[in-house]
Amino acid sequence: MSKVVMKIEKMTKIYHLGKVKVEALRGVSFAVNEGEFVSIMGPSGSGKSTLMHIIGCLDYASGGEYLLADQDVSNLSDNQLALFRSKKIGFVFQQFNLLPRATNLRNVELPLIYAGIPARERKKIALQALQDVGLGERVSHRPNEISGGQKQRVAIARALVNHPSIILADEPTGNLDSKTGLDIMDIIQKLHEEGNTIILVTHEPEVARYAKRIIHLKDGLIDKDEVVA
């Protein structure tokens, strides 16, 4: 039986905009098993970006429970949350979020630096990660010297180096042309086949269908949770 790696129970998120109360999440509950590939879909205002930030330990819920790798995330301080995030979550963002003046190798090394891995070891790990995504000959290049698709490959390599509990991909093809987007999704699909747990946030149905399960959000609630054949 698969192990539950992430569980959300009756999660709420309320924003106060002046005197206006906005309920972005209104009691969301679901679990993700180890090795699962899940897409989260929803229109603008559905709550998917809010949910992504909470899953990624970038924000706190207003209520409910969030367990990640058997840790109750809601009880962590800001510093504890940042450390936990660096060890347990690998991020792949639409905007790539690479340091423009750092080499690709240095960008991939960053999570290992925060984790306190010695220089020689982290260089070896980062180099292997770049080779795994087909960028072994681009380790000394900087982000402004490579294409958008190559930038996203660097971001994927960076997401992998700490062997995270989940890889969280937020609109990973959003800034790419259709062919390059397909190449990136093929890499993400391969990562899933290798046993990685992936949560993909997207508004594109053709991207969502790479997953084996699609969670549809609407008005801060789960509208449908379907298994894809």
The pLDDT value recorded for residue 152 is 93
Per-residue tokens: 143: 């982000």
| CA-only gyration radius of the chain, Å | 18
CB count in 10 Å sphere of residue 82? 13
Query: What are the structural domains, with CATH classification, of the chain?
Result: 4-227 (3.40.50.300)
What are the pLDDT digits (tens) for 74-98? 888 888 888 888 889 999 988 888 9
Give every residue of the chain whose pLDDT is below 70, as ranges: 1
Q: Is 189 exposed, middle or buried (0-12, 13-18, 19+ CB in 10 A)?
A: middle
Q: How far apart are CA 135 and CA 153, in angstroms?
A: 8
Per-residue tokens: 110: 């960053």
Three-point CA angle 184, 188, 192, nearest 5°? 165
The pLDDT value recorded for residue 87 is 85
The pLDDT value recorded for residue 1 is 62
Token pair 């190798």: residue: 105
The pLDDT value recorded for residue 35 is 94
The pLDDT value recorded for residue 129 is 94
The answer to whether the predicted template modeling score (pTM) of the entire model surpasses 0.75 is yes
The 63-68 sheet, strands edge to edge:
20-33, 4-17, 63-68, 71-72
Reduce the secondary structure of 10-51 to three states and give it as a string.
Answer: EEEEEEEECCEEEEEEEEEEEEEECCCEEEEECCCCCCHHHH
- CA 178 vs CA 98, 168, 172: distances in Å: 22, 21, 12
The pLDDT value recorded for residue 2 is 75
Residue 192's closest CA among 222, 175, 176, 172?
172
Q: Is 111 exposed, middle or buried (0-12, 13-18, 19+ CB in 10 A)?
A: buried
As a whole number of Å, the end-to-end CA separation of the chain is 20
CA 150 to chain CA centroid, Å, is 18
Cβ atoms of residues 159 and 91 within 8 Å: yes
